[in-house]
Structure 1
Amino acid sequence: MDGEQEARWLAAQGIVVGADLVPAALRQLEFLAAVDRRRWLYEGPLLERAIHRYKTYWLPLLAKHSQAAAVDGPLVVPLDCEWIWHCHRLNPVQYIKDCKRLYGRLLDNSNVESSFRTDSKHHAEKVWAEQYPKEPFELEYTSPSDNSVYANAGDAEEIAYDLVSAVKRQSSFFYQVDTPTMHDPRFLEEALTRYKGFLYLIKTNQENKMKLFRVPTYDVDVMWHTHQLHPATYGHDMLKLLGRVLEHDDTDDDRSEGKKLDVGFSGTTEQFENAFGVRYWKAGAMYRGNLPSPVTSSPQMFSSEADDDFGVGKAELQLAILETTVIELFLQIVDFKNLPPAIPRENVHIWFTKNQSDMFISDGGRLDISTKTGKSIGASIQCEPTGELILTVLVDRASSSKKPKKIGKVSISLQEFTWPDSKLSFERWLELKPHDGHASSPPVSLRVAASSTVSVKAQQVLSMIRTEPFSLKTFLSPSSIKDPKMSCWTRFVYDCKTELIRLQIRDQKAKNGMAVARELVGVTKSSKKPFKLAEFVDNKWSLSNSNLCIPNDMKPSKDGSILELKCDNKMIKLYHGRKLEFQRKCCNNHAEEDASAVTAVKFSAEHPYGKAVALLDTKSELIMVDEDWFLLTWIVMSFLFQDINVEHGAKLIGGAMVEKGAISKPDTTMASVDTLAAPAQCGTCGTACGSNMAIASDKVLTTVNSKAVATSGGSGGNGQTESAGCGSGCGGGCGGGCGGAMVVETTKAGGGHAKSGGCGGGCGGGCGAMAVESSKDDVHAKSGGPGGCSSGCGGSCGGGCGYMAMESSKVGHAKSGGCGAGCGGGCGAMLNASS
């Protein structure tokens, strides 16, 4: 930032916020998690009951307590009442009006404590019982058909604010902020500085009599929400700063291109970056896409969170599990300087790679420079926080047949983002190391902005490969004749070709020599002999040292699950298709493919509505596991599913892939995989859907993998990254966010014509990703969804972000700028990375 920008930033940091927002934000996130475990408070009769209790019981009790303390110490608020109070306070102007009309004064949160943060509710429950003897302190879950929730309703005070609608808008907010990064104090400390910068823009616009709609990113919005939850402090701070209470109108959630949220976010990005010289986009602060569809509306109730597991005994000790961490990195090349006069600025671009092998980044990808295009252009990538990111500066030559000329390169240590004192972001000038060894004077430099999420444990992703035994006898004999001494192994292999385990079903004769028993055995590199994992008894497979059984004829139950595994305080249910965290973000056109997948969903006290912990993708023969305790169990189950028939006699999973040139006999040696099948490009959305680990996970916005660059686009037109922001619940200065991925395939010299895989007519509920298909002379961009994405992606493409990107070396042609008007929930954008 220059001198003026630095002065503005210092002025913004001087804005006084009367509450300690960082610890308060962490408490807010804990509270929202507690509410999300009670989703009956989002809609239905229990929500109506909670609103009634809030108006009839809690507000009057709070009013009395604010005048004369009703208890020694803080007053504890019932969780259901606190949830309604939370939503009411997030419209601060209306909350003040309602309080003053009903009680003549503002009811603050001072000396009030949440019920989920204290074990000492005795005094509060006693006071509650004295005041409301027929009303329980806590509102417990009842089935939707139970009408007793309306007992003793009584009369409630009238509140002008529509609390049902307020709850509906806020119910999806937790999903957007429920990430490890958002819970990191370093991230929240920086969020506070960005929130002050956001307030400074509003103050500046007001002083200049400019009525502009400013839109926060999610980190800023968490701070804004937290500030509003302290009504007296928020009102005092806003009156001092603005002379009025700043409104937070969350009623507008239309993310369509050109609409209020989209335009507001684009304007906020531009003003923030011009005012302070720092980037507004930030890893971990952007829109995550639509809330995944739930697998159930009824919670599974557990008495405690005891750590039961579904293991298979000591066999887990035999596994040499690869521990990999992953970060999401947002990278932007802001500017460059000291370029030799003979080199045209418009011909310069950047290629990024890693100097170490990475399971996410293969060939790297291209970045344009923001000052060259006049727009904010960046890439959101997923990578391991190891080694260095290499940025090579290239110049396109006049002849498209010639390779770009290398000027030099710089490197960024990715470990920098994992240091304990890292701020998870930086923006600085970096000097190029010249390619030919001769440095110019002064040296060419790049201004690089980078931000990162905290590192998290990556999914375990393994391919299933069956080795076909070979012997001269079976080769010369008819195929119907099998060598009883020969059998195949199914190997579970990482993408780096490291084998974790191999499994085989064997027939074992009983001691009496008559009966034949089947058992499943496994072999690892560290085990010297096969060990038993399961056996077939009474027409079902029983896992060793476990009470888990897999029947031979699984059929869907009433709730749609095909298998249910129970322990005292945990349950695993299996569902056809991709569910919850594994639900596709790209589009809704994969029903046939997704039907061949199976998702394992864990239910526990922490996750009463389920958390997806594993996926079996039968098309790509991949398994994905989020929690290591379930890894071996899922490997065993995935293997056994090959022999299990479901309804109508169709197999739940087809046979595993056959590896050619397999070993000639079963042994305990570790054979490497020559080549794993590359994930097939999705014909609908243009991405490698389903077989790529990063795409299968919704924990990141976009990825770079296997010659594909997932790059963040922007709202409307030639390559701007100007829309991200927060979703519903952030209006009045929020919303507008884009979290959809765009994928760019590396192209050869020639023209380009990008394809949107995004939203066509009726292609609702997802993020329309785009892939560029390369050809020698032309690269075409078409829409993959039904109805297409032409001329702004009209149609009812609800909920996501349709990004479109294009990368070529000479001529570029893009028919769609992503999802336009009618593409609800998106910020349809096109990133044109061509020269």
Structure 2
Amino acid sequence: MSVSDGTSTTRSLSEISEQETVRLSIDLVAAARHNLGFLRLVAESQWLHQRPTTVEAFRRQVKELYDELWMPLISDLMVGSNPPMIVPPLDIEWVWFCHTLNPVSYKQYCESRFSKLTGKLAIFNEENEEYALDVCREIWIRKYPCEPFENEVDSNMEDPVGRHEDLLGEVLKQKCLYTRFSEPYMSELVYLVAAKQRYRGFLYMLQKFGDGISCLVPTSDILLMWLTHQSYPTAYSADVKEIEGYLGKMVAALETVKEEEVQETKKLWEKTFYQPYEKAGCPVITGAVKVKPPIYWVVTNTDANVKYKSMVPRFLLEVCVMVRLNSDRKNMQGDSTNEFLRCRMIRGHGDLKLNTPIHKFPLDSWKKAWHLYCEFGTKGIVTELRGRGGHCFKGSQLRDSVTFTWNDLLRAPSLTLGKECDEKVRVVASMTPPVQGAYLLKCVPDRVTDDSGAMVSDVILRMNQYQPQEGRWLSRTVLDHLGRECFILRMSSECDANDRVGAGLWRRGGETPSNVKHEDRIVEILE
């Protein structure tokens, strides 16, 4: 449904049809997921970023691959309706990927060298990719028997770059590209679907307002989709043909932009779609330096603590709440100086009450009210509009409230929901898909035990007819983030049977334990 902003009619992202904006001829969701895996592999391949290796890979690409081997080979094979499924080795694919991120330069090279634009196959399945690499190796060896398929680095070779120094600089510059997209939630399917929808909206905005803008600054999710689109040259060239003249106004990765340019993009997006441009997990790219998030996202493909079944994983998400006062707010009755918005969790954290005076929010634009990192177990957030009492009254009175559950946000378009609060305030909440976070554990002191695990006490002595309790173990109970008991740590030593944390026996009436060296102690974990 269209929303009136007082002066113009705006549209939601989901209302934009393919006929009204750029048609995407490639599955960007699958392609982006594949590219994230590829960028992660490149980032983990440290040998690829050492200058001798990069120069060697670049020499192969420029002198041999582009001029003699790879590009002629792929150009000849990419003909007809069923070209063979091939993928180059990692070093070649990386340089090729970096070159496609400069579409103008890449297109000029291909047309001058082969009289056509050379593209690549969309291979997203890991098994198909391994098969394609084997096919490429066979074709390579058969066609170029004297040229090794894998990269062979000679650290003593001369730098042969010469006139291609610009492209080498592009490759070296892009080596840190993955740091912009390394958050684990970015590879989640629901995040990529939302990113594709926002990218379509971005292209729609560029197509509709391209003549009247100086530049557009993408957020990280839109940038990911744009780079993915560019990495498939033939599809990208055909898709953006109608807006080719406006593409230079899109700020590329690693470019530094001014705050005025960011604000121009935000205002245009808000005017077009009546929702905030910035959202959870999608910061605006403002320069080459990436700001570290205030939380450590643990990226792991396996659970390192699967051995301990009692440990319950915790899932984290990022949530952003944006607020805007309705345009007719100034004509409404009431003193806004006594009103404020409160944010609290649906479940748990009862003492968490974040208050912000309502007069701090603007009428003509969106403002970030809260930016939080939450556990999925909190269920969601509640935003309350409250009014303070007079001078003689303490506390505040609830006027209205809106609730955003995590499940509702996960099902919402672009992972974003907007609601009205008391017809005065427009509240928009967005979130990232929940991902498994680090285990949050704490140790609490427990009783001292003997070799058998029994508590050292008069009660146990009496039950054992006052037989001395041998050994001494300090115990700690480990609790998870929900306060549930996970396991027990018992600290001991590798001394004789009577020696643990301290040597000696426990008898009624006293004991005389002696110290044990720290390096002799051991730790036992009991579930």
TM-score relative to the length of structure 2: 0.74
Instruction: Give distance in 1, aligned partners of 2:54 and 2:369.
Output: 42
- Secondary structure of the residue that 2:71 maps to in structure 1? helix
Specify the alignment match of 2:90 in structure 1. 79
The partner residue of 1:169 within 161, 170, 173 is: 173
- After superposition, residues 301-312 of structure 1 pair within 5 angstroms as none
Shift of 1:218: 1.0
Using the TM superposition, give the Cα deviation of residue 332 of structure 1 relative to its aligned residue in structure 2, in angstroms.
Answer: 1.7
Q: How does 1:193-212 map to 2 (within 5 A)?
A: 193-208=197-212, 210=213, 212=214
Conserved? CA contact 1:253–1:261, under 8 Å:
no
Question: Does the CA contact (< 8 Å) of 2:216 and 2:249 recur in 1?
Answer: no
Give the letter for the 2:54 counterpart: L
Question: In the TM superposition, what whole-angstrom CA distance separates every residue of 1:732-778 from its partner, at most 9, and x where no partner exists?
Answer: xxxxxxxxxxxxxxxxxxxxxxxxxxxxxxxxxxxxxxxxxxxxxxx
Give matches, 1:101-116, under 5 Å: 101-110=112-121
Match of 2:178, SS?
helix
| Aligned-partner SS, 2:150 | coil
Alignment of 1:481-560 (within 5 A): 488-494=474-480, 497-506=483-492, 510=496, 518=500
Mapped partners of 2:393, 2:471: distance in 1:
58
SS at match of 2:87: strand
The structure whose Rg is larger is 2
**Pair 393,458 (structure 1): closer, same or farther in 2 beyond 3 Å:** same
Please list every run of 5 or more consecutive structure 2 residues that lacks an aligned counterpart in the other structure. Answer: 294-299, 449-455, 459-468, 503-515
Equivalent pair of 1:76/1:114 in contact (CA under 8 Å) = no
For 1:78, the aligned partner's letter is P
2:149 corresponds to which of 137, 160, 165: 137
Q: Deviations over 1:51-70 (max 9, x none)?
A: 11222333343334423569
Matched-pair contact (CA < 8 Å) for 1:194–1:220: yes
Question: In the alignment, does 2:59 pair up with 1:52?
Answer: yes
CA contact (8 A) 2:382 2:403 kept: yes
The residue number in structure 2 matching 1:333 is 323
Deviations 1:201-245 (A, max 9, x none): 32334333x3x2211111111111111112222223322134465
CA contact (8 A) 1:91 1:247 kept: no
Distance 1:308 1:467 in 2: 28
**Match of 2:387, as an amino acid?**
V
Would the aligned equivalents of 1:424 and 1:454 in 2 still touch at CA under 8 Å? no
Cα deviation, 1:272-330, whole Å, max 9, x if unaligned, reads 011211221121222694479xxxxxxxxxxxx9989799xx8x35xx32343222111
Contact preservation (8 Å) 2:31, 2:122: no
CA shift, 1:394, in A, is 1.9
Q: Equivalent of 2:48, from 38, 41, 53?
A: 41
Contact 2:198 2:414 in 1 (8 A): no
Corresponding letter in the other structure for 1:366 = N
Please, which of 89, 94, 109 is the counterpart of residue 98 of structure 1?
A: 109
Letter in 2 for 1:31: F
Q: Closer, same or farther in 2 for the Cα pair 1:230/1:400, shift >3 Å?
A: farther
How far off is 1:86 after superposition?
0.9
Give secondary structure in 2 for the equivalent of 1:50: helix
What is the distance in 2 between the residues matched to 1:43 and 1:273? Answer: 44
Equivalence for 2:155: 147
Question: Once the 2 structures are TM-superposed, how far is the Cα of residue 73 of structure 1 from its aligned partner?
Answer: 1.4
RMSD of the alignment, in Å? 4.3
SS class of match (1:77): coil
Distance 1:337 1:402, change over 3 A: farther
Task: For residue 186 of structure 1, report the CA deviation from its aligned partner.
Answer: 2.5
Encode CA deviations 1:95-123: one digit per residue, 9 max, x unaligned.
22233344443222248899992234343
**Amino acid of the structure 2 residue aligned with 1:348:** E
1:56–1:157 contact (8 Å) kept in structure 2 = no
Tell me: CA distance 1:446–1:25, structure 2 relative to 1, closer, same or farther (3 Å): same
Higher RCO by CA contacts (8 Å cutoff, separation 6 or greater) = 1
Partner of 1:395: 387
Secondary structure of 1:460's partner?
coil
The TM-score normalised by the length of structure 1 is: 0.49
Q: CA deviation at 1:182?
A: 1.7
2:430 matched residue in structure 1? 451
Relative to 1, partners in 2 of residues 1:348 and 1:166: Cα closer, same or farther, differing over 3 Å? farther
3-state DSSP of counterpart to 1:274: helix
SS across alignment from 1:118: helix
Q: Relative to 1, partners in 2 of residues 1:244 and 1:132: Cα closer, same or farther, differing over 3 Å?
A: farther
What is the deviation of 1:412? Answer: 2.6
CA displacement at 1:504 relative to structure 2: 3.1
Which of 266, 273, 283 is matched with 1:276 structurally? 273
What is residue 398 of structure 2 aligned with on the other side? Answer: 406
1:365 counterpart (350, 354, 358): 354
Q: AA paired with 2:404?
A: I
Question: 1:191 is matched by which residue type in structure 2?
Answer: A
For the residue of structure 2 that corresponds to 1:76, the secondary structure is: coil
Residue in structure 2 matching 1:343, options 334, 353, 362 = 334
**Matches of 1:307 and 1:324 in 2, distance apart?**
14
Identity %: 21
Offset, 1:407: 1.8
Deviations 1:57-98 (A, max 9, x none): 333433344235699712321211111111111111122223
1:239 and 1:245 in contact (8 A); partners too: no
Cα contact 2:32–2:228 (8 A) shared by 1: yes
Q: 1:235 to 1:203 in 2, by over 3 A?
A: same
Residue 229 of structure 1 aligns with which residue?
Answer: 231
Paired with 1:347 and 1:464, the residues of 2 have a C-alpha distance of: 44
Residue identity matched to 2:24: V
What is the aligned partner in structure 2 of residue 263 from structure 1? Answer: 260
Match of 2:36 among 16, 23, 29: 29
Partner of 2:367: 376
Structure 1 segment 611-622 matched on structure 2, within 5 A: none
Which secondary structure state, in structure 2, belongs to the residue aligned with residue 119 of structure 1? helix
Distance of 2:315 and 2:305 partners within structure 1? 24
Choose from 175, 178, 185 the match for 2:182.
178
Q: Residue 464 of structure 2 aligns with which residue?
A: none
Query: Does the Cα contact within 8 Å between 1:490 and 1:503 map onto a contact in 2?
Result: yes
| Secondary structure at 1:56 match in 2 | helix
Of 3, 7, 10, 1:5 maps to: 10
Q: Is the CA contact 1:428–1:449 (under 8 Å) kept in the aligned structure 2?
A: yes
Following the alignment from structure 1 to structure 2, what is the Cα–Cα distance between the partners of residues 111 and 463?
48
CA distance in 2 between partners of 1:96 and 1:196 (Å): 23
- CA pair 334-124 structure 1, distance change in 2 beyond 3 A: same
Conserved? CA contact 1:353–1:391, under 8 Å:
yes
Residue 267 of structure 1: how far off its partner (Å): 1.8
Task: Tell me how far 1:453 sits from its aligned partner.
Answer: 1.0
Q: What is the CA–CA distance in structure 2 between the aligned matches of 1:499 and 1:113, rounded to whole Å?
A: 43
Q: Name the counterpart of 2:440.
A: 461
Residues 462, 207 of structure 1: alpha-carbon distance in 2 compared, 3 angstrom cutoff: same
CA distance in 1, matches of 2:183, 2:392: 44
User: What is the aligned partner in structure 2 of residue 19 from structure 1?
Assistant: 26
CA distance in structure 2 between the aligned counterparts of 1:274 and 1:244, rounded to whole angstroms: 20
Q: What is the one-letter code of the residue matched to 1:5?
A: T
| Letter aligned with residue 67 of structure 1 | D
Separation in 2, partners of 1:354, 1:306: 30
**Distance change (3 Å), C-alpha of 1:343 and 1:484:** farther
Q: Name whichever of 279-288 and 113-122 sits farther off.
A: 113-122
Shift of 1:498: 4.0
